[in-house]
């Protein structure tokens, strides 16, 4: 298990490019250190480590994820997310704990959105019996990234979107000044407008959304 992380670290570090890293760090508001490995190259570098014969066993996935998350460079958090996506069919009820840890640690939109849509969204489809309890817990917290996750985990649900739940999540957040929440409200409404524009128009008309949320929600509607 340690060998996996150590060898991955070595492989990435060889390709460190400071000039690229400076631009990437500026894009992420200097919240994280980066090696300067662009996404296509990172995908190639991680490929042998994530291959079926090389990736860790499912029982070691949480520990590997934590170790990758604790490494100083942002690229390793992206690897951790990609690694977890390989185990969607083996997802277990307890995995929500590691997802919550990933959301609330080293939090920023670049990691949170991937986790929310690709991991949490899949989790709630597999374990719908846990959905309301977890969402209630997250919405009761003061963590904006848990709130954002609640807003966008249904981003790919289309006609399976739980509209009553979506409204219940959005409504308590209306009036916030938090950019990432208002943006997420508009984003999920805009995406759902591809499936049911009438519902989105009606929802927007009935609620005093921020200008940002309203603009994003109606962006695709003529």
What's the rounded mean pLDDT across residues 195-205?
98
Q: Is 36 helix (H, G, I), strand (E, B) or coil?
A: coil
Residue intervals of the chain classified under CATH 1.25.10.90 are 1-90, 106-222
Protein fold of 106-222: 1.25.10
C-alpha separations of 40 from 45, 46, 51, 81, 129 in Å: 9, 10, 16, 15, 38
Pair of tokens at residue 143: 């963590």
Average pLDDT, the chain: 97
pLDDT of residue 1: 57
DSSP code, position 15:
T
Pair of tokens at residue 94: 């307890």
Q: How many CB atoms lie within 10 A of CB 164?
A: 8
Cβ atoms of 185 and 167 closer than 8 Å: no
Kindly tell me if the per-residue pLDDT of 2 is higher than 90: no
Cβ atoms of 180 and 153 closer than 8 Å: no
Q: How far apart are CA 54 and CA 74, in angstroms?
A: 22
222 band by pLDDT with thresholds 50, 70 and 90: confident
Secondary structure element (H or E) that encloses residue 166, with its range: helix 163-170
Half-sphere exposure of 87 (CA within 13 A, CB side): 21
pLDDT in tens, 15-34: 999 999 999 999 999 999 99
146 band by pLDDT with thresholds 50, 70 and 90: very high
Q: Is 33 helix (H, G, I), strand (E, B) or coil?
A: strand
**What is the greatest pairwise CA distance in the chain?**
56
Q: How many CB atoms lie within 10 A of CB 146?
A: 23
pLDDT in tens, 149-199: 999 999 999 999 999 999 999 999 999 999 999 999 999 999 999 999 999
Pair of tokens at residue 170: 């959005």
**Overall pTM surpassing 0.75 (yes/no):** yes
Protein fold of 1-90: 1.25.10
């Amino acid at each position: 298990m340690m060998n996996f992380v150590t060898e991955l670290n070595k492989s990435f570090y060889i390709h460190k490019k400071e000039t690229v890293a400076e631009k990437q760090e500026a894009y992420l508001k200097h919240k994280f250190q980066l090696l300067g490995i662009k996404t296509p190259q990172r995908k190639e570098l991680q490929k042998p480590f994530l291959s079926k014969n090389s990736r860790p066993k499912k029982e070691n996935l949480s520990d590997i994820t934590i170790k990758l998350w604790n490494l100083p460079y942002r690229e390793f958090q992206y690897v951790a997310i990609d690694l977890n996506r390989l185990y969607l069919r083996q997802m277990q009820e307890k995995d929500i704990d590691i997802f919550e840890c990933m959301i609330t640690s080293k939090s920023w939109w670049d990691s949170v959105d991937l986790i929310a849509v690709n991991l949490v969204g899949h989790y709630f489809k597999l374990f719908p019996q846990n959905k309301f309890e977890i969402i209630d817990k997250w919405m009761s917290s003061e963590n904006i990234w848990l709130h954002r996750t609640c807003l966008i985990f249904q981003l790919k649900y289309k006609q399976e979107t739980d509209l009553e739940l979506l409204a219940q999540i959005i409504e308590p957040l209306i009036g916030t000044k938090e950019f990432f929440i208002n943006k997420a409200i508009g984003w999920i409404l805009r995406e759902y407008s591809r499936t049911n524009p009438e519902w989105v128009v009606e929802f927007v008309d009935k609620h005093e959304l921020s200008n940002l949320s309203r603009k994003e929600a109606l962006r695709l509607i003529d």
